[in-house]
Amino acid sequence: MASAKREFASGKLTPEELGRSQRSTIRRLNGELHAFITLIPQDSGRRGSRGPLGGITVAVKDNIYVGGSRTTAGSRVFRRFVSPYDADVVARLREAGATIIGKTNMHEFAFGVTNINPYTGDCRNPWNHDRISGGSSGGSAVAVATGMACAAVGTDTGGSVRIPASLCGIVGYKPTYELISRRGVVPLAWSLDTVGFLTRSVGDAAMLTGLTLGGSRSEPTPDFRNLKPRSVKGMRLGVPWNLLEPLDDDVRLRFRESLALAEGEGARIASVRFEHIREAAACRSLITHAEAASFHRAYFSARFRDYGREMRRRVAQGLAIPAAVYVDALRVRRTLLADFRSLFKRVDLFALPTTRIPAPTVEASKRDETAPAVRTALIALPEPFNLFGAPAITIPCGLTREGLPVGLQLAADINRDFDLLSASLSLERVLPKLPAPP
């Protein structure tokens, strides 16, 4: 985003030239990578070069309404549904001058983290096409990583922005719950869903946040568009080592190198312990399944054959959860949240890998005997911050020996998004810069 704006200002590039180039890239790569479900030929919200996002192209996950365009949520169930209006986040982007270039591929109804999709195509990793993109916002991550769009919007219920961003080597930011409006978003789980951004830099994510604020929170918010790096000297970074194991060897190495770079900038590393890890994971899973089943109940009976096998199983599991168990999960969530927030008496931010493994193969992600382990390895580290509604971000921090990206995840207390992004801006400057995907 920032580099495109500089080229617009210098006259080296026009918005029209950028749009033509990116659409050409989409036509050339999408048949193999499956990043987009729908390409929008002419965005009616385009305003040329006017506004802070004038001429900037933004891809939108296909569970987010773009008025007059299809919103399939990656499923045959909604294959003919046309959005009646813009989601709030899309309306604000258009008001800022952004061009909505298309709707991106996703895991069916956002209920998964691999972006394996039998209807819209398996979203492939641009660093190695035999690998998954991660999900459920996989198409958005691929679009940004390959230059098909300047930035993208996704949703994050258990890591669905951060996981694909990390596996594809870009920045993925999940704000505090309800910092960004969810109106016009097909829900997965109402009390966990968060609209987030996938970008090439922390500064771009902050810019998009500042232009789209407008959730149901009443607290005053700082001006994210004027974000400045916050010195990490003296900053206390807490590492929840008990949550991390097992880690892939290369992920562990890149993470330790990132911590060393942070210490070199003056940060202090402290060990912390996340209590009740299994209970937290079970709590988030119960809430997700129960709330998803509530949304899908009517569609499920009427359109059962249009659901994919994986989605059928998960909705059925949700329908089998007793109401009392769901209420108990909500009560336990409050207790776990209090424990989580108490840790910020000792630390300023948490630091941990984004996923336990780099991008696994498409084949391993599909096989019944290995798919559960893949899912756990991808979701275990990002999902706690959805349960707590806390802001979290992934920043590229290097490559594995096989040339696959690794992400560093940072997380803050609720409503401390500005502090998180300011610190991330500083750390981004010392972390390794990744080349473009080969």
Helix (H, G, I), strand (E, B) or coil at 258: helix
Q: Which of 75, 133, 137, 160 is catalytic?
A: 160
Q: Which residues contact 271 (CB under 8 A, 6 or more apart)?
A: 238, 239, 241
What is the strand order of the sheet 405-411 is part of?
Answer: 36-39, 99-104, 57-61, 151-156, 194-199, 171-174, 392-399, 405-411, 349-353, 236-239, 268-271
> Cβ of 226: how many Cβ atoms within 10 Å?
9
Burial class (CB in 10 A: 0-12, 13-18, 19+), 383: buried
User: How would you class 59 by CB atoms within 10 Å of its CB: exposed for 0-12, middle for 13-18, buried for 19 or more?
Assistant: buried
Beta strand ranges found along 193-245 (DSSP E): 194-199, 236-239
Q: Which of 76, 75, 151, 163 is nearest to 114 (CA)?
A: 163
Q: Apex CA 138: angle with CA 402 and CA 245, to 5°? A: 55
Tokens 């004038």 appear where?
54
CA atoms within a 13 Å half-sphere pointing along the CA-CB vector of 199: 21
What's 168's DSSP letter? H
Q: Is residue 136 annotated as a catalytic residue, yes or no?
A: yes
| 3-class secondary structure, 363 | helix
> Which of these is catalytic: 75, 83, 133, 136?
136
Up-side HSE of residue 9: CA atoms within 13 Å toward CB? 9
H-helix or E-strand spanning residue 132: strand 128-132
| b/e 333-344 (16+ beta carbons within 10 angstroms → b) | beebbeebeebb
Residue 158's CB: how many other CB atoms inside 10 A? 29
Query: Is 228 a catalytic site residue?
Result: no
Q: What positions carry a catalytic annotation?
A: 61, 136, 160
